[in-house]
A and B are shown apart, each in its own frame.
Chain A
Amino acid sequence: MLSSDEITDALGFAGDDPRRLSITPMPELEDVRRHAATSIDLRLGRWFLSFKQSQNSSVPLAIMRGARRTLADVEASRTKQHFIPFGDKFVLHPGSFVLGATLEWLRLPATLAGYVTGKSTLGRHGLVIETASGIHPRFAGCLTLELANVGEVPIEILPGMKICQVFFHAVSETKRQELGSMEGYRKPTLPTPKRDITLEKISVPE
Chain B
Amino acid sequence: MSSKTGAHPTSRLRKASASHRLNAFLKQIEILESSNFPHPDAREALGKLKDDIKGQIRRLSRSDVSDEALIDRLYAQARNTVIEYTPILGFILRSTNIRNAFEVHFPLKRLAKQVIGANAKLIISSEWNFVPFTYPMTLPRLPQFALVGGPASESGNVLATPVAAHEIGHSAWRVHSPSFALDNKLIGAVDAAISANASQTAALVIQLGTGPLAVPQIRHLVFSNAKKQLEEIFCDAVGLYYFGASFLYALEYFLAPGGGPRSLTYPSDVERLKLLTDGAAALGISNSSPLFERWADSVAQSSQMDFITILDAAVAHLASDVINHATSLLRSRGARVPDQTKIDAAVRSFDGGEPIAGDITLGEIATAGWEIVRREGGLAEASKRRKYRDLGDLMLKSVEVAEFELRIARA
> What A residues does B38 contact at CB under 8 A?
83, 85
A15-B352, A86-B407 known; A46 vs B98 contact (CB < 8 Å): no
The reply on A185 being an interface residue by CB < 8 A is: yes
B354 and A140 within 8 A (CB): yes
Which residue of chain A has the shortest Cβ distance to B96 in the bound complex?
A83
B393 and A185 within 8 A (CB): yes
The reply on A119 being an interface residue by CB < 8 A is: no
Which listed residue, B40, B354, B400, touches A46 by the CB 8 Å rule? B400
B393 and A184 within 8 A (CB): yes
In the assembly, what is the distance between CA of A86 and CA of B408, in Å?
12
Task: Map CB proximity to B onto A143-180 as digits: 1 under 8 Å, 0 otherwise.
Answer: 00000000000000000100000000000000000010
A25-B357, A25-B404, A25-B405 known; A84 vs B397 contact (CB < 8 Å): no
The reply on A142 being an interface residue by CB < 8 A is: yes
> What A residues does B37 contact at CB under 8 A?
85
A186 and B36 within 8 A (CB): no
Interface residues of A in 76-95 (CB under 8 A from B): 81-86
The reply on A96 being an interface residue by CB < 8 A is: no
Which residue of chain A has the shortest Cβ distance to B40 in the bound complex?
A85
CB distance from A114 to the nearest CB of B (A): 16
B98 and A103 within 8 A (CB): no
A26 and B404 within 8 A (CB): no
Interface residues of B in 388-407 (CB under 8 A from A): 389-390, 393-394, 396-398, 400-401, 403-405, 407
In the assembly, what is the distance between CA of A185 and CA of B386, in Å?
11
A107 and B353 within 8 A (CB): yes
> What B residues does A85 contact at CB under 8 A?
37-40, 102
For B, the interface residue count at a CB cutoff of 8 angstroms equals 29
> What A residues does B369 contact at CB under 8 A?
none
> What B residues does A185 contact at CB under 8 A?
393
B36 and A105 within 8 A (CB): no
> What A residues does B40 contact at CB under 8 A?
85
The reply on A24 being an interface residue by CB < 8 A is: yes
A81 and B397 within 8 A (CB): no
A24 and B401 within 8 A (CB): yes
A15-B348, A83-B98 known; A186 vs B397 contact (CB < 8 Å): yes
A24 and B355 within 8 A (CB): yes
CB distance from B137 to the nearest CB of A (A): 23
Which listed residue, A22, A45, A84, A184, touches B390 by the CB 8 Å rule? A184
B397 and A24 within 8 A (CB): yes
CB distance from A179 to the nearest CB of B (A): 8
CB distance from A138 to the nearest CB of B (A): 9
Among the interface residues B39, B353, B390, which one has the most CB atoms of the partner chain A within 10 A? B353
Interface residue SS majority, chain A: loop
B353 and A84 within 8 A (CB): no
> What A residues does B400 contact at CB under 8 A?
45-46, 103, 186
A107 and B354 within 8 A (CB): yes
Task: Map CB proximity to A onto B9-51 as digits: 1 under 8 Å, 0 otherwise.
Answer: 0000000000000000000000000001111100000000000
A24-B401, A186-B393 known; A82 vs B355 contact (CB < 8 Å): no
> What A residues does B386 contact at CB under 8 A?
184
A160 and B404 within 8 A (CB): yes
Interface residues of B in 352-411 (CB under 8 A from A): 352-357, 386, 389-390, 393-394, 396-398, 400-401, 403-405, 407
In the assembly, what is the distance between CA of A163 and CA of B403, in Å?
19
CB distance from A63 to the nearest CB of B (A): 20
In the assembly, what is the distance between CA of A36 and CA of B133, in Å?
54
CB distance from A132 to the nearest CB of B (A): 18
Among the interface residues A84, A85, A160, A179, which one has the most CB atoms of the partner chain B within 10 A? A85
Task: Map CB proximity to A onto B318-355 as digits: 1 under 8 Å, 0 otherwise.
Answer: 00000000000000000000000000000011001111
Which listed residue, A22, A84, A186, touches B354 by the CB 8 Å rule? A22
B357 and A140 within 8 A (CB): no
CB distance from B100 to the nearest CB of A (A): 8
Task: Map CB proximity to B onto A81-123 as digits: 1 under 8 Å, 0 otherwise.
Answer: 1111110000000000000000101010000000000000000
Which residue of chain B has the shortest Cβ distance to A49 in the bound complex?
B98
A24 and B357 within 8 A (CB): yes
A24 and B396 within 8 A (CB): no
In the assembly, what is the distance between CA of A25 and CA of B357, in Å?
6
In the assembly, what is the distance between CA of A103 and CA of B393, in Å?
13
Which residue of chain A has the shortest Cβ distance to B403 in the bound complex?
A86
> What A residues does B349 contact at CB under 8 A?
15
Interface residues of B in 303-322 (CB under 8 A from A): none
CB distance from B75 to the nearest CB of A (A): 40
B404 and A103 within 8 A (CB): yes
In the assembly, what is the distance between CA of A141 and CA of B40, in Å?
28
In the assembly, what is the distance between CA of A26 and CA of B408, in Å?
13
> What A residues does B352 contact at CB under 8 A?
15, 107
CB distance from B6 to the nearest CB of A (A): 50
In the assembly, what is the distance between CA of A110 and CA of B309, in Å?
65
> What A residues does B348 contact at CB under 8 A?
15
In the assembly, what is the distance between CA of A198 and CA of B82, in Å?
63
Which listed residue, A81, A86, A184, touches B353 by the CB 8 Å rule? A184
10 contacts between A and B (CB under 8 A): A24-B401, A25-B401, A84-B36, A107-B352, A179-B353, A184-B389, A184-B390, A185-B393, A186-B393, A186-B400
Question: Which 3 A-B pairs have CB atoms at the shortest separation, nearest pair first?
Answer: A81-B98, A186-B393, A140-B353
| Chain B residues close to A by CB (< 8 Å) | 36-40, 98, 102, 348-349, 352-357, 386, 389-390, 393-394, 396-398, 400-401, 403-405, 407
What would 8 more interface pairs be, CB under 8 Å, given A46-B102, A103-B400?
Answer: A84-B36, A86-B403, A105-B401, A140-B353, A140-B354, A184-B393, A185-B393, A186-B396
